[in-house]
């Protein structure tokens, strides 16, 4: 019902926009309610742990005195984090407690089943339309499905093979390699299906060789143009190969194709969808997000030498990386639809890496060897309790000089910022560049004069924020320019090593860091265009410093479309090549986004690292100062943002079209911005 006195919109578009705004607000309130419930649960766990710790400390003190008491407390508290997750022993130490934090990995949305019904289910008309599109293809490649089998439960094996036979795309070949299964039902089922469909070919190994050897035997059976990797207990959706073939028709020289995925529980219920970004050359080092569904061109698999034995559990990741070394980034195709159901059961890695602990070391090794082959100096470490990797980039032999450029606004904030840089920074070759715009009070001027070794640049003209940054950059002597707000407080001692190391990776032009609010909740972990009609910060204020975030994204280095200029480091050569920050547009807002996108146009990617952490001393409720003249400028900047970067606003490649642009909590999109058919 309309509020009394409020006019009822008559225009259909106005009604639709009002409805969408109400739905977005409701989604946000529901997410906040779930967050509060989660915080309450965490508080209950923390209080319980504190009570147990007090009991242990009292008992230990009574028995052996203070030293034993401290040891007991240490054992209790170092074994736990405030959120109830197990603490890491070191970067490379796997833990068996993945299930304790995996619940936060995906978008926990209880409406996923309804979303599937509305947007991810074909009707008969859709099937007819899809078949017509496939029939009209100029080329209809044969897709060979690589299907290694070993002692698969009968129900799962039948469901997997049936999902292949149900494909709407008819040009497939199922290449099954039985790795000497010991359970009698396996051979019987494979023989049955081979007799039913001539497209199914079966090879039975005489000895168990594990998944890499068995997969190579399946590849030897393949005659198709493309190889589709499939686990023996998972399920393809009926339109999987059809949508893949249509996507390949749009990119004739494609080398790798991957899709979104979700999971099947023990009852067959779909859950935890992973809606992935377009190809990200940094994220693929931290997690194998290609799998599942992953297809690789057969000739590239042959050139790469097939699967390597000794890397079981990550053999597909290894193969994909070796193929990536032979192709361009634009030859990687992403189909933003769920084409694959990954089964979660006690024996699968979808449930926990503890089911297959050898996967952890293999995951680290395949990435380390990939970086060694392409000549990137870095050390790969496993994130505890997962098969994710942290990449510790090595600095160049002669580390570049870094100019940290700060535009002071407040003496108190500036003093805290500078002191945190001097206290916590271990990078040797660094200079401070401070801009004096003539508006400082005497105490701040004195503080600037007291900074030994700092460059103080005087500029008394009335310049925009973008113009001030450009002016200060011209006075800086570094090969890396690092722009900081004065309300930043450094937390990581090696923050500059992380930033400069990532900038040394080929193709990375600028890098952002993990910014935290004073309460250590997430403020910035990359910028997404389109949220709220402008830009947004996924995870903002809804996850804490230690959270893994959406499928690990708060712990993994990656390439967002843009990062915040509250801390933005850029190669000087790239900065100067594009003319620095835009002074005629985005003078106060979106200057950081514009810089990152212009770098992208020039062939440079934006990087983000979670291992350089800073507190950004502003509240989530702080306004952006959009009143009076600022409001006019903000409105002008928004219009130009849409005019200049409208394609990115509509379709940010680092953010799935299946996730909502209504707010920053990564909810499902109702409807998705890409239709299924």
Q: Is 313 left (phi over 0), alpha (psi -120 to 50) or beta?
A: left
What the block records as the tokens of 35 is 């967050």
- Residue partners of 124: CB distance under 8 A and separation at least 6: none
Cα separation, 132 vs 638, in Å, equals 42
What the block records as the tokens of 4 is 């009394």
Cα separation, 351 vs 243, in Å, equals 28
pLDDT of res. 10: 57
pLDDT of res. 598: 98
Q: Are 128 and 211 in contact (CB under 8 A)?
A: no
Q: Do domains 112-312+327-352 and 402-648 have the same CATH topology?
A: yes
pLDDT of res. 86: 34
pLDDT of res. 617: 92
Domain boundaries, the chain: 12-84, 112-312+327-352, 402-648
pLDDT of res. 195: 97
Written as one string, the DSSP assignment of 83-95 is TSPBPPSSTT---
Q: Write the CA distances from 227 to 142, 143, 146, 520, integer angstroms.
A: 9, 6, 6, 45
pLDDT of res. 446: 75
pLDDT of res. 191: 97
Nearest one of 2, 17, 20, 14 to 671, comparing CA atoms: 20
* 455 Cα distance to chain centroid: 37
Give the mean pLDDT per block of 10 residues along the chain (677 residues): 48 64 63 54 54 55 41 35 33 32 52 95 97 95 98 97 98 98 97 97 96 97 98 97 98 97 93 97 97 96 97 96 98 98 69 63 96 96 91 93 89 87 92 81 72 81 85 96 96 96 94 96 96 94 92 96 97 97 83 97 97 87 54 82 94 96 92 94
Cα separation, 575 vs 403, in Å, equals 13
- Residue partners of 516: CB distance under 8 A and separation at least 6: 491, 522, 523, 545, 613, 614, 615, 616
In 351-479, the DSSP E strands lie at 378-382, 389-393, 402-407, 430-436, 455-458
Q: What angle do CA 13, 18, 22 make, to 5 degrees?
A: 150
Would you give the DSSP letter of residue 253? Answer: T
Give residue for tokens 């113009």: 467
Fold classification of 112-312+327-352 (topology level): Spore Coat Polysaccharide Biosynthesis Protein SpsA; Chain A (3.90.550)
Cα separation, 570 vs 512, in Å, equals 9
Nearest one of 200, 209, 189 to 167, comparing CA atoms: 200
Residue 39: how many CB atoms within 10 A of its CB?
12
Write the CATH number of the domain with boundaries 402-648: 3.90.550.10
pLDDT of res. 62: 45
Q: Which helix (H) or strand (E) holds 352?
A: none
Helices and strands, counts by H and E, the chain = 20, 22
Burial of residue 116 (number of CB atoms within 10 Å: 0-12, 13-18, 19+): middle
Q: Are 152 and 225 in contact (CB under 8 A)?
A: no
What 3-state DSSP class applies to 115? helix
> What are the φ/ψ torsions at residue 332 (nearest 5 degrees)?
-100, 125
Residue 181: how many CB atoms within 10 A of its CB?
20
- Residue partners of 565: CB distance under 8 A and separation at least 6: 469, 483, 485, 591, 592, 595
Burial of residue 361 (number of CB atoms within 10 Å: 0-12, 13-18, 19+): middle
């Amino acid at each position: 019902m309309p509020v009394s006195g409020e006019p009822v919109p008559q225009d259909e578009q106005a009604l639709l926009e009002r409805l969408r705004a109400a739905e977005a607000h409701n989604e946000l309130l529901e997410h906040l309610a779930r967050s509060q419930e989660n915080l309450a649960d965490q508080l209950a766990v923390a209080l319980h742990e504190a009570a147990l710790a007090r009991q242990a400390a009292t008992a230990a003190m009574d028995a052996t005195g203070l030293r034993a008491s401290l040891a007991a407390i240490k054992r209790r508290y170092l074994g736990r984090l405030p959120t109830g997750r197990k603490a890491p022993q070191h970067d490379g130490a796997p833990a068996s407690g993945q299930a304790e934090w995996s619940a936060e990995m995906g978008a926990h949305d209880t409406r996923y089943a309804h979303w599937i019904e509305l947007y991810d289910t074909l009707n008969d008309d859709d099937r007819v339309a899809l078949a017509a599109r496939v029939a009209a293809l100029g080329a209809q490649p044969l897709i060979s499905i690589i299907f290694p089998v070993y002692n698969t439960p009968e129900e799962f094996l039948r469901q997997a093979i049936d999902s292949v036979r149900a494909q709407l795309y008819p040009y497939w070949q199922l290449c099954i390699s039985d790795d000497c299964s010991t359970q009698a039902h396996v051979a019987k089922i494979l023989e049955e299906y081979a007799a039913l469909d001539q497209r199914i070919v079966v090879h039975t190994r005489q000895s168990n060789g594990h998944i890499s050897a068995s997969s190579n035997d399946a590849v030897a059976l393949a005659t198709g143009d493309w190889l589709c990797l499939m686990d023996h207990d998972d399920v393809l959706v009926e339109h999987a190969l059809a949508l893949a073939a249509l996507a390949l028709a749009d990119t004739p020289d494609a080398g790798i194709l991957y899709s979104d995925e979700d999971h099947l529980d023990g009852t067959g219920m779909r859950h935890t969808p992973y809606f992935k970004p377009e190809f990200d050359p940094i994220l693929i080092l931290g997690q194998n997000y290609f799998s599942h569904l992953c297809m690789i061109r057969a000739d590239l698999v042959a050139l790469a030498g097939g699967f390597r034995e000794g890397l079981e559990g990550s053999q597909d990741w290894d193969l994909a990386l070796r193929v990536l070394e032979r192709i361009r980034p634009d030859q990687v195709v992403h189909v933003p639809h769920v084409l694959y159901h990954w089964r979660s059961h006690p024996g699968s890695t979808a449930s926990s890496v503890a089911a297959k602990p050898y996967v952890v070391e293999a995951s680290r090794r395949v990435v380390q060897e990939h970086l060694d082959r392409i000549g990137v100096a870095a050390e790969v470490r496993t994130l505890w309790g997962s098969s994710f990797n942290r990449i510790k980039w090595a600095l160049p032999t002669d580390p570049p000089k870094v100019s940290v450029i700060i535009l002071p606004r407040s003496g108190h904030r500036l003093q805290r910022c500078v002191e945190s840089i001097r206290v916590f920074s271990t990078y040797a070759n660094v200079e401070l560049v401070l801009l004096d715009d003539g508006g400082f009070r005497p105490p701040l001027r004195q503080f600037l004069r007291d900074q030994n070794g700092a460059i103080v640049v005087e500029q008394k003209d009335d310049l925009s924020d973008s113009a001030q940054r450009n002016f200060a950059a011209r006075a800086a002597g570094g090969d890396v320019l690092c722009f900081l707000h004065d309300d930043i407080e450094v937390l990581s001692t090696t923050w500059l090593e992380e930033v400069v190391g990532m900038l040394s990776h080929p193709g990375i032009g600028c890098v952002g860091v993990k910014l935290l609010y004073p309460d250590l909740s997430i403020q910035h972990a990359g910028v997404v265009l389109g949220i709220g009609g402008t830009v947004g910060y996924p995870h903002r204020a809804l996850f804490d410093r230690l959270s893994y975030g959406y499928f690990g994204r708060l712990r993994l280095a990656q390439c967002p479309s843009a990062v915040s200029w509250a801390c933005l480091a850029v190669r000087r050569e790239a900065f100067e090549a594009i003319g620095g920050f835009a002074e005629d547009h985005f003078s106060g807002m979106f200057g950081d986004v514009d810089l990152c996108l212009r770098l992208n146009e020039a062939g440079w990617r934006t990087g983000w690292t979670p291992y350089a952490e800073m507190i950004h001393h502003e509240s989530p409720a702080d306004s952006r100062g959009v009143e009076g003249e600022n409001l006019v400028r903000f409105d002008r900047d928004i219009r130009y943002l849409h005019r200049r970067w409208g394609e990115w606003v509509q379709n940010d490649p680092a953010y799935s079209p299946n996730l909502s642009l209504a707010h920053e909590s990564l909810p499902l999109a109702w409807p998705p911005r890409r239709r299924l058919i």
